Structure 1
Amino acid sequence: MIKKRLPIAIDSRVHLANLCKTKSDQFITVNIQRFRYLYLFLLIPCASHATELTGLVIDEGMNALPGVTLHVKGTNLGDITNGQGRYSIHLDSGNYTLAVSSLGYIDQEISIHVSETDKQQLDITLKESVDRLEAVTITASSIKATLESKGFAMKAVDMKDAELSSIQATDILDRTSGVRIRQSGGMGSRTRFNINGLSGNAIRVFIDGVLMQSYGPSFSLSSIPTNMIERIEVYKGVVPVELASDALGGAINIILKKNYAQNTLNTSYSFGSFNTHQFNTSGSLHRPKSGFTLKGSAFYNYSDNNYKVWGNQVYTTEPTTGEIAYVKATRFHDTYSSAGGKVDVGVTGRSWADELLFGMVLSEMSRDIQHGATMESVYGNRRATQNTQLASLSFKDKSFLSEKLSLEAFTSVSNLNRHIIDTSAYIFDWDGKRKARYDKDGNRTGWYEYISGAEAGNPTLQKSKENVFVGRAVSHFQPTDQHKFTTSFLHTGFVRDSEDPLRHVDIRDLEDTRYSSKTIVGLSYEYQAFQEKLKLSSFYKRFTQAVRVVEYKISGDDEVELNRVRRAVNADGFGFSAAYEILPKILLLSSAERSFRLPVAHELFGNLAESLEPNYDLNPEKSKNLNIGFTLGAFTFGKHEAKLQLNTFWRDTKDKIKRNVREDDTDETTEYINDDSYLSRGLDLDVFYAYNGKIHFNGNMSVFNSRFNTEFDENGLQYDWYRDRERNAPFFTTNSNLKYHFENVIQSGSKASIATNLAYVHWFYRDWESLGGAGKDIIPAQTVLDVSITYTFPDQRITLSLDGRNLLDDQVFDNYALQKPGRALYGKINLKIL
């Protein structure tokens, strides 16, 4: 009976797959997957003594392909890949021809030999079909649409076009609605992210789901070349448990290109203003038969950062009269260089693991330090260096023990060596010269010096060694199409040991250690109904942190003082997300949470390179977050395509961790503090329009209304700035990006594009708006115009680009009037060698 029914079942199944080629990929994935279980149920009794041919079908970017039809020619045997791209066919020993086909990909016929074994592995890579380019485009956009339709307030940023230009990933993020990049200067300066009014370390940054801090400070978002990035996922407010961390205000997840299934070699070089050089190369080697995979990348960055600065903090002092003269000065002590490499070696695409890779990261950085916490304190000798060594092991399997269970695991151990050099006491002016001392007759008698003996406090040659351990695991269990369970685990350990040959001889050799560890456990449940129109999820997170400090200081009586600190923190967070498609392409989104953010190492322990003092009493930052929004589209009308997204948010944040603002602008150092509570409301609006695939327009607007929400201090006195807008924080930004694509420019088969981006940041108060009278210190409105031109030669291997940044040469500020670069030009060449 079974042998008579089997051909009918298989023929119907293959016929159904052919019908599905005229439908969307979603139809293939959902409907064929349901029929697959009946087919396997019928096939198993007949193949109990046959060899099981299994494998994974992927595209050239290492993405699993569901709905792929596999047919053994001359038989009625075959299969269709499941949601993880896997297939299974039972065959007797012998020689066969396997036909493989899928919408948007080139059909393949593979000769195979089946031996007398219980199981045999055959992985298949399909190439995109040029003739089916439109279908491929639909499939690619569906990945982005799937991510943006889960209920979280998130934006998936495709990096396909950006990888050819000279701009950095931070520039792309700064153009994203709701996101503001805050930097204290040019290349190499510390980068802080602001998402919907929450900023700093409340925003966590990940690389493929792993905290970026695991890779060391030199391997940062500014140093990762854009041509190594596939997309960037931006979460605003509520963050899913898959990104196992204590992100409070949002998260940025950088998805790197995998290219495991092909051999590649790419390189690029960029040169531009301020003697800026950027070089990177990346490549991969893959052996399909054994699964052996080798992937590597390297980068080098350098800049003099000698751009012009001016304003009420940039002045020189006349040596004899002491009169102040405001000047337009060139930064003279701000060079930066960084270099690094990352290598991963192991196996990919095996039946027992999609990925098992051992990794190594080496990086180093050197930079001059131009000024202190503000631009009032000018430095001419202070500098810092650091280097990082990291070893990692990663494992991924989408069918771990069962097709319903997946597992990702990552662990790393890193060593960071940091060196601060500050031994000169000379005082510099913004003209780059030391301040000279003169007698009454005008004769120079010497130089002015800091009484502390160095530019930023006591003389130091401090060397610190930081060891960081990271362990992360994420597992998904999906018993049915409607239900999914996720568990996540993250543990990090941090130890810093310091020594300084210039410290007091009595404490130089004593133990001076700072230690912190934190563990975050997450659980979530997802439910889908009404043919995936309704998507619900709920989650729970457990936060724990332990801090221990042992340090020695010299008191005013020249006696050794021992300071010991022990702290422990435990907290619970929870939340939910919901999405409902009320009409085709009209989606409602909502998410809410109560969450915590634990202070990180440099906030607790300070960092001399950044003029930060320690604060061991920092409490966790906590917030209640709510997001409500909707998505319209994308709608297509002939050659026109349009899409609109709106997200509104509400944040109630307490014990916000922020840099302290000293009353004296000339203070060389500062520290992080808990800044009471803030209530924030606002919205993000995104508009997209395209015409004929050649003209693309993206526009967005963000409004942040974050206000101080603590009425009385600990003594019962009312704060003068109660209900004031948060100081030193932008509250209104817009971006508009227009791009036009050309084909067959100069040469047949070539491609070119020209793009412009206009960004506007409304003026905002540097301090509380209720303090002071007329002429309050403000950060002025900023308008930045960027233009990018790219040209790709017909063989698609060479691309040239020219980028103009801040062409209006507007004065751009951040972080309490720290000025960023003005007008700049950059050229870049991209080479695809393999």
Structure 2
Amino acid sequence: MLYLNKYFSFRKVILVIYLLMPVFLFSQVQERGIISGKVLYKDGSPAQSVTVYIPKTNLFAYTDEKGTFTIKNVPLGNEYLVEIRVFDQAPLTTKVFAKEKINKIIVKLDKNEGISLSEVVVVRKGKGEELKEKGYAMNVIKTQEASLKNIQTIELLGRSSGVKIRQSAGIGSEMTFNLNGLTGNSVRIFIDGIPIRNYGRSFSLSSIPPSMIDRIEVYKGVLPTEISEDALGGGINIVLKKNVSNSLITSYSYGSYNTHQWDLNTTFRQPELGLVANLSSYHNYTDNNYKVWGDNVYVTDPETGRINYITAKRFHDRYGASGIKGNIGFVQKEWADDFSLGFMFSQMEKDIQTGATMNVVYGNRRTNSHSGLASLQYKKHHLFWKGLNLNTFTTYSLTYRNLIDDDSHIYNWLGQRVKNYQGEEQLNPQGGEAGIATRAENTEENIANRTHLSYHFTKNHNISASYFYNGFSRKIDDPLLPQESRDALDKRRYNKHILGLNYEANFFHKKLKTNFFYKSYHQNVSLTEVTTRIHPRLGYTINTQKHEKKIDHQGYGAVVAYRIAPKLMFTTSAEKAIRLPSATELLGNTSDMVNANYALKPERSTNFNIGANIGDFYYKKHKFSSEVNFFVRDINDLITRGVPRETDDSFSFENLGKISSKGVDMDVHYSFGNSFFIHSNLSYNRAIFNLEYDKAGVRYFQYKNRLRNQPFFTSNTHIEYIKQGLFAEEDKCTFDYNFGYTHWFYLNWENLGSANKTIIPAQPLHDLGVAYTFSNKRITLAFNVKNIFDIQVFDNFALQKPGRAFYGKITYSIQ
């Protein structure tokens, strides 16, 4: 059972906020009107499929074959910058004061030079698109439409080219990311540029709803220096929403396996003061009681010892997580473009159903955590003089985690306690289900600062410096240990400093864009390792050993993009990359059954990407674009998860010689008008063990083998059809279909065994969804079916994921 009662007061706070915020924001609702008009070329011909967008309100429309557009529900009494996005040109805007019920404008374009209105000013593209045009190999995932559907954040990521999400079970389970053949901590995860680990386990990609996210940036291989982290295979940056206009969006979803998901996002702005307040909250719960079957799901007859294979329900895998996050500050002031203070509280409780494989079943093992975080952000363009820009972001977090494993009974897949042939319950002599009985407690402190200072000393030349600091400490304890062992435990400390320098230059009217960078990495680690053994006659024996370690490394690289034609851009990037061992890899984590490995070396890699962005091409209502990226990774000392111990199911991380990874990603986009969209991608990589001999001169049997238990070919196709005016003039109905495919791969090294090698089978997954938005634009109903054909889905070591599932969702918004 999940013990959520002790968080009852926390949930009441969320409920009160949820009930009061709509009342508060209803008092702020303004009278609304329409901005409509035409976008024409100077010769009078209509500009078709041009996007007309109002950034302040997030409202937009597309021009039709006559060049006309209509944007409804625009709050009246304000002046807006209306952004005109013309094909592959930089976004341009014109000012419109919305004071009437219907406000009309006419925009005239030059087919070569763009907008002809004199008052138009250039507006910068979104940060993700801007970095992409500089040559970084990356994907930018928008979440605006996805937030209305029954789609989790990790599902959105899994649909992106080159990304494979690997979960050990259902919602809330352990997950790793495979990006271009690299996995685990080689791929760093960030929230607003700060490592996700600083936010605590309870605030994870399993719990963050898409409605809290503005966009997701997926970097393949090379990270920009302003993120300033060590990442070998790239990184995923979750950029949270920070709206600057009054709004409220809340949704509730219910589905299979008793899954409940609720979220709330609100914003209040006082324009005269420049005051902005944001509040977000979520609550997720699921039983995760889906069916499992196969070679690892069986019960043993205690009298005959016969194994009977069964189809069983997961009976001990419930998960609950809640969180609340807020910001208050000032924007667009003379002394700051953005100054804000933030807070976050989150909690999570989870049952643990299996060990490293489904052969090991638990019936009472569980974990919980709760976290608190405070943040400060300051951003200012033209700090002391024109062109000097500063952006600094600091977080402090405190996280408590607890692992409870003090039940010595052994359970089977029917949820029964295992008995011997005499009818007596079998017990683990060490006192716990996974080994020695424990109530391990970890208290973690994390402080991080990311500072980026840039100077545009000319229009096309920019220098910048970035600094990232992360201080981590963990106090470990276990009330079930002897007092002597508890007294020997000390704080485990981990400090990291990363300095980045960057020079950016544009040439040939910005057709050629270049970035050259240097990074310096420094790490300090200290821990006391305590080893406790139980002797039949002597009792406990305790050994302690103090470890201290310093690591210093340098890296460098370059990113280049050249637009050879208006609709064709070549990109390339290269980097000597370093990835320092993480706190968990070095210091271990008793809550996750991870043993310390003080001897771990940093990962080192030479990364290279070359790619092309093609389009957008238009023919009448048809639109087409494509992206392709080839990559090479030459890796030394890759840090990977070791094989679990048979005695207690714990493991440690280890270095894995030399790895070579080569492959390709491809994306294709097609749309017909504003109603039909297809996005398809594929990713192929060949990651092999590339070290021939060990230190003794013995040849490795797995030399030139693909990495074990690693998928190497994935693809995804998403089709969406939008029907306007289905039942009413202003309503919208969206139908979508998604097909995801993972090719079969070997569970172990290819050379092991000559026949009947264990494989993870091919996994074709089909999802369907429909969403209907009423004509008032405030209520959206959605229904989704996932894994329609109930395919058996595996990721890690034959750990089965959920089968067919149904979900319904209602979303209410005021904007």
Shorter-normalised TM range? 0.7 to 0.9
| Cα distance in 2 between the residues matched to 1:776 and 1:133 | 66
Distance 1:450 1:582, change over 3 A: same
The correspondence of residues 161-310 of structure 1 with structure 2, limited to 5 A, is 161-260=145-244, 262-310=245-293
| Cα distance in 1 between the residues matched to 2:519 and 2:312 | 50
| Cα distance in 2 between the residues matched to 1:216 and 1:663 | 27
Letter in 2 for 1:795: N
- Which residue does the alignment assign to 1:60? 56
- Which residue does the alignment assign to 1:368? 351
- Which residue does the alignment assign to 1:578? 560
- Which residue does the alignment assign to 2:595? 613
Residue 797 (structure 1) aligned to one of 771, 778, 793: 778
| Cα distance in 1 between the residues matched to 2:454 and 2:125 | 24
- Which residue does the alignment assign to 2:668? 687
Distance 1:623 1:99, change over 3 A: closer
Residue 468 (structure 2) aligned to one of 476, 490, 494: 490
Answer yes or no: is the 8 Å Cα contact 1:106–1:129 preserved in 2.
no
CA positional deviation for 1:642: 0.5
Residue 411 (structure 2) aligned to one of 428, 446, 454: 428
| Cα distance in 2 between the residues matched to 1:400 and 1:21 | 40
CA positional deviation for 1:281: 0.4
Letter in 2 for 1:574: Y
Residue 653 (structure 1) aligned to one of 623, 628, 635: 635
Distance 1:388 1:132, change over 3 A: farther
Residue 358 (structure 1) aligned to one of 332, 341, 347: 341
| Cα distance in 2 between the residues matched to 1:258 and 1:100 | 18
Runs of 4+ in 1 over 4 A off after TM superposition: 20-23, 97-111, 127-136, 138-145
Answer yes or no: is the 8 Å Cα contact 1:152–1:591 preserved in 2.
yes
Provide the aligned C-alpha RMSD in A: 2.6
| Cα distance in 1 between the residues matched to 2:331 and 2:123 | 23
- Which residue does the alignment assign to 1:720? 701
The correspondence of residues 628-777 of structure 1 with structure 2, limited to 5 A, is 628-662=610-644, 668-777=649-758
Aligned residue pairs total: 726
Letter in 2 for 1:60: K
Deviation track 1:417-455 (CA, whole Å, cap 9, x = no partner) reads 11111101111111111111233xxxx2x2011222111
Letter in 2 for 1:195: L
- Which residue does the alignment assign to 1:48? none
Answer yes or no: is the 8 Å Cα contact 1:361–1:391 preserved in 2.
yes
* Corresponding residue SS for 2:591: helix
CA positional deviation for 1:751: 0.3
Letter in 2 for 1:402: W
* Corresponding residue SS for 2:133: coil
Answer yes or no: is the 8 Å Cα contact 1:540–1:573 preserved in 2.
yes
Residue 524 (structure 2) aligned to one of 537, 541, 546: 546
- Which residue does the alignment assign to 1:84? none
| Cα distance in 1 between the residues matched to 2:792 and 2:81 | 56
Distance 1:419 1:253, change over 3 A: same
Answer yes or no: is the 8 Å Cα contact 1:106–1:128 preserved in 2.
no
- Which residue does the alignment assign to 1:319? 302
Distance 1:453 1:148, change over 3 A: same
Letter in 1 for 2:655: N
CA positional deviation for 1:552: 3.2
* Corresponding residue SS for 1:818: coil
| Cα distance in 2 between the residues matched to 1:277 and 1:578 | 46
Say whether 1:531 aligns with 2:494: no
- Which residue does the alignment assign to 2:67? none
| Cα distance in 1 between the residues matched to 2:82 and 2:708 | 56
| Cα distance in 1 between the residues matched to 2:518 and 2:394 | 23
Distance 1:580 1:554, change over 3 A: same
- Which residue does the alignment assign to 2:4? none
Letter in 1 for 2:713: F
Deviation track 1:675-708 (CA, whole Å, cap 9, x = no partner) reads 1111011001111111122110111111010000
Of the two, which has the highest radius of gyration?
1
The correspondence of residues 512-531 of structure 1 with structure 2, limited to 5 A, is 512-531=490-509
Residue 454 (structure 2) aligned to one of 463, 476, 483: 476
| Cα distance in 1 between the residues matched to 2:621 and 2:57 | 29
CA positional deviation for 1:256: 2.2
CA positional deviation for 1:667: 5.6
| Cα distance in 1 between the residues matched to 2:512 and 2:726 | 47
TM-score when normalising by structure 1? 0.83
Answer yes or no: is the 8 Å Cα contact 1:383–1:609 preserved in 2.
no
Letter in 1 for 2:133: S
| Cα distance in 1 between the residues matched to 2:462 and 2:384 | 16
- Which residue does the alignment assign to 1:604? 586
Deviation track 1:26-81 (CA, whole Å, cap 9, x = no partner) reads xxxxxxxxxxxxxxxxxxxxxxxxxxxxxxx9941699xxxxxxxxxxxxxxxxxx
| Cα distance in 1 between the residues matched to 2:275 and 2:179 | 40
Answer yes or no: is the 8 Å Cα contact 2:577–2:604 preserved in 1.
yes
| Cα distance in 2 between the residues matched to 1:321 and 1:413 | 58
| Cα distance in 1 between the residues matched to 2:799 and 2:592 | 14
* Corresponding residue SS for 1:813: coil
CA positional deviation for 1:662: 4.4
- Which residue does the alignment assign to 2:13? none
Answer yes or no: is the 8 Å Cα contact 1:283–1:297 preserved in 2.
yes
Residue 440 (structure 2) aligned to one of 439, 462, 466: 462
Distance 1:62 1:720, change over 3 A: same
Say whether 1:338 aligns with 2:321: yes
- Which residue does the alignment assign to 1:590? 572
| Cα distance in 2 between the residues matched to 1:461 and 1:132 | 68
CA positional deviation for 1:210: 2.4
| Cα distance in 2 between the residues matched to 1:661 and 1:241 | 35
* Corresponding residue SS for 2:488: coil
| Cα distance in 1 between the residues matched to 2:768 and 2:108 | 29
Deviation track 1:512-571 (CA, whole Å, cap 9, x = no partner) reads 221111111101111101111100111000011111002433355644322101011000
CA positional deviation for 1:638: 0.9
Say whether 1:779 aligns with 2:760: yes
TM-score when normalising by structure 2? 0.85
Letter in 2 for 1:817: A
Answer yes or no: is the 8 Å Cα contact 1:632–1:644 preserved in 2.
yes
Answer yes or no: is the 8 Å Cα contact 1:208–1:256 preserved in 2.
yes
| Cα distance in 2 between the residues matched to 1:129 and 1:425 | 74
Distance 1:793 1:100, change over 3 A: closer
| Cα distance in 1 between the residues matched to 2:404 and 2:707 | 35
Deviates more, 1:728-737 or 1:306-315: 306-315
Letter in 1 for 2:594: L
* Corresponding residue SS for 1:507: helix
- Which residue does the alignment assign to 1:626? 608
CA positional deviation for 1:500: 1.2
Answer yes or no: is the 8 Å Cα contact 2:506–2:513 preserved in 1.
yes
* Corresponding residue SS for 2:486: coil
Distance 1:99 1:140, change over 3 A: closer
